[in-house]
Amino acid sequence: MGVISWIAERFGTRTPAPAVKSGKRVYLAGVPTRTNSGFPGGGSYSRSIDAETRYTLRGLRSHSRVLYQNNDYYKKFVRLVVKNVVGPAGFTFKNNAKNANGTPDTIVNQIIREAFFTWGKRGVCDVTGKLSWTDCQRLFIQAVPSDGEVLVRLVRGFDNPHRFAIQFLEADHLDENYSTVLDNGNEIRMGVEFDKWDRPVAYHILVKHPGDYTYQRAGNRYERIPAADMVHAFVPERPRQTRGVPWGHTAMTRLNNLGGYEEAAIVSKRTSASKMGFLVPPAPGDGTEYTGDGNDDDGDLINEVEPGLLEKLPPGWDFKKFDPAEPGGDFDPFMKRTLRGIAAGLDVSYHKLASDLEGVNYSSARAGELDDRDTWNTLQAWMTESFLDIVFAAWLDVQLLAGTLVFPSGSPLPYAKIDKFCAPTWRSRSWTWVDPVKDLLASEKELANRLTSRTRLAAECGDDLEEIFAELAAERELAKKYGIELVDPMPAGSTVKMPTEPKPGKPEPSGAATPAADDAAATVEE
């Protein structure tokens, strides 16, 4: 046996890979070399996503919860998700059922909208009676980043006027260690039962939370819930993925190390500011015994120190200063560099995550906002498909079967037209810009050049054009009733213009606005 082979067998190392011959077409990143030796070898990342997550999912979820409970930046990230995806008022609902000729079925839409609004009140829509529909939206989107997934049970026949409610379950109820093959050929993977096409058939839920203080492993049991009665929402990253992983899994190590670094720096600062020291006794038999302020329970000497206190030591005693060095000047650069990597892993802008607006101007703020809003809009669309649409469809199904939705004449809405009636439209929250005047000017030009429509512009702001027109018409009728003349904010023919750039070499007139400033105000020309 050669020396290299003996070392490989003795210490578990591999012999160096043969050099790639010149001209051979390969992906060099997949070939073991000196420069990529840090990658795990042996095909450890060639396993399925379920094989990779089965034994690490519980640890990932636990670490994510620890960070959410104790790390300022991770908690800020989750709050950013909740605030920007759901917002203060939540998703607003409007039904859009249409007649055969394409016109809105106003009566049916109004009946469904009012009934769904009533169901969404606090104390009705969830089984605990503690949540409103908006609370449910916030709880849904708050659980997914931290746990990676969320379970929502659709309880049909619940004891409330609508015969329907939802129940939130933590991901721990879905046992990631429960995997088996059933007699009918279905496969249970990590608590989820699949058919031969990998379509979820049922969820095997632990009746009690495995982390509850009342949990008894020997006495706990599984409840099989059909997939039609369960919302299991997570953002998939790979095909055939059964369970979701916390969104901050790539940033967890940095977040944990950053927290430890901050703690060490704070301890170092406090220690340095304390200016501690040691009392050096004289040789035995020389001088006077130092008594200090007494002794503790272990017999050790106690000496309390107060600011500005000077103490006279007995003859022969000496004081040796202990002056640890404070953190160097690289604290801020290190924090910023690390937080930028964390922000990239969490897919949010650095200045939002760190609450650091130093060096941010209009252009950089707008660029960061655009990227963030693409993320929030993507999550809003995902939440609409994965939660809102599913809950509404189940609610409507129960209402039509129970006959709780009725026409003004008293006859119930027919169940046969459920496909027509199930036409929900969800309006998500919107945002204002750093400088809205500039964006309003751009929208005005787009309208003038027929490049957009008022309907699209209203939708971008989270509004509905029909509702805006209805409100404007109602305002005019109300003004007529009280004899008040409404004046448009801008008279007809007026245009809004921004100050133009001064010509090179021509001084700016005294008192004129500075066009280069990011906060330049718009002027109205008659």
pLDDT, one tens digit per residue, over 125-168 is 999 999 999 999 999 999 999 999 999 999 999 999 999 999 99
Tell me the one-letter amino acid at 234: F
Q: Classify 447 as helix, strand or coil.
A: helix
* Average pLDDT estimate for 26-30: 72
Instruction: Tell me, yes or no, whether 407 and 443 share the same domain.
Output: no
Instruction: Tell me, yes or no, whether 203 and 168 share the same domain.
Output: yes
Count the neighbouring beta carbons within 10 Å of the beta carbon of residue 255: 25
Instruction: Tell me, yes or no, whether 31 and 174 share the same domain.
Output: no
Residue 523 lies in a domain: no
Question: Which pLDDT band holds residue 321 (cuts at 50, 70, 90)?
Answer: confident
Instruction: Tell me, yes or no, whether 133 and 241 share the same domain.
Output: yes
Instruction: Tell me, yes or no, whether 186 and 41 share the same domain.
Output: no
| Distance of alpha carbon 138 from alpha carbon 129, whole angstroms | 16
What is the pTM for the complete model shown? 0.76
pLDDT of residue 127: 97
Instruction: Tell me, yes or no, whether 19 and 148 share the same domain.
Output: no
Tell me the one-letter amino acid at 155: V
Which residues are CB-neighbours of 41 under 8 A, at least 6 positions away? Answer: 14, 32
pLDDT of residue 500: 52
Residue 75 lies in a domain: yes
CA dihedral 367, 372, 375, 377 (to 10 degrees): -90
Q: For residue 405, which of 164, 99, 231 has the smallest C-alpha distance? A: 164
Instruction: Tell me, yes or no, whether 376 and 466 share the same domain.
Output: no
Instruction: Tell me, yes or no, whether 88 and 214 share the same domain.
Output: yes
* Average pLDDT estimate for 422-442: 82
pLDDT of residue 515: 41
Q: List Cα–Cα distances, 219 to 43, 171, 215, 216, 225, in angstroms.
A: 40, 20, 8, 5, 19
- Structural domain count of the chain: 3
Residue 328 lies in a domain: no
* Average pLDDT estimate for 419-435: 86
pLDDT of residue 519: 42
| Distance of alpha carbon 15 from alpha carbon 332, whole angstroms | 43
Which one-letter DSSP state was computed for residue 215?
A: -
Both tokens of 192, joined, read 């989820």
Instruction: Tell me, yes or no, whether 463 and 384 share the same domain.
Output: no
* Average pLDDT estimate for 208-231: 85
CB contact at 8 A, 439 and 111:
no
pLDDT of residue 175: 94
Instruction: Tell me, yes or no, whether 35 and 91 share the same domain.
Output: no
Boundary-marking domain end, from 389, 415, 434: 434
| Distance of alpha carbon 390 from alpha carbon 488, whole angstroms | 43
Question: Which pLDDT band holds residue 182 (cuts at 50, 70, 90)?
Answer: very high
| Distance of alpha carbon 319 from alpha carbon 311, whole angstroms | 11
Both tokens of 163, joined, read 């015969």
Work out whether the CA dihedral 404, 407, 412, 414 comes out positive or negative.
negative
pLDDT at 454 over 50: yes
pLDDT of residue 520: 38
pLDDT of residue 331: 81
pLDDT at 499 over 80: no
* Average pLDDT estimate for 261-281: 72
pLDDT of residue 498: 47
Residue 37 lies in a domain: yes
What are the pLDDT digits (tens) for 40-56? 765 666 788 999 898 89
Instruction: Tell me, yes or no, whether 14 and 163 share the same domain.
Output: no
The secondary structure of the chain in percent helix, strand, coil, rounded to multiples of 5, reads 40, 15, 45
| Distance of alpha carbon 241 from alpha carbon 51, whole angstroms | 10
Instruction: Tell me, yes or no, whether 35 and 138 share the same domain.
Output: no
Residue 333 lies in a domain: no
358 vs 490, more confident:
358
pLDDT at 269 over 90: no
pLDDT at 518 over 60: no
pLDDT at 9 over 70: no
pLDDT at 11 over 50: no
Residue 299 lies in a domain: no
pLDDT of residue 441: 83
Residue 336 lies in a domain: no
pLDDT of residue 389: 98
pLDDT of residue 513: 42
* Average pLDDT estimate for 193-199: 96
What are the pLDDT digits (tens) for 359-398? 777 677 777 788 889 999 999 999 999 999 999 999 999 9
Q: List Cα–Cα distances, 75 to 81, 96, 338, 383, 431, in angstroms.
A: 10, 37, 17, 20, 22
What are the pLDDT digits (tens) for 463-473? 778 878 888 88
| Distance of alpha carbon 221 from alpha carbon 234, whole angstroms | 25
What are the pLDDT digits (tens) for 89-115? 999 999 999 999 999 999 999 999 999
pLDDT at 22 over 70: no
| Distance of alpha carbon 311 from alpha carbon 390, whole angstroms | 75
- Kindly report the average pLDDT of the chain as a whole number: 82
220 vs 494, more confident:
220
Residue 326 lies in a domain: no
pLDDT of residue 95: 95
Quote the domain boundaries for residue 404: 50-273+360-434
Question: Which pLDDT band holds residue 300 (cuts at 50, 70, 90)?
Answer: low
| Strands in 114-249 per DSSP E | 150-156, 164-169, 180-181, 187-189, 192-194, 200-206, 222-226, 230-233
Convert 100-137 into a string of H (helix), E (strand) and C (coil): CCCCECHHHHHHHHHHHHHHCCCCCCECCCCCCHHHHH
Question: Which pLDDT band holds residue 309 (cuts at 50, 70, 90)?
Answer: low
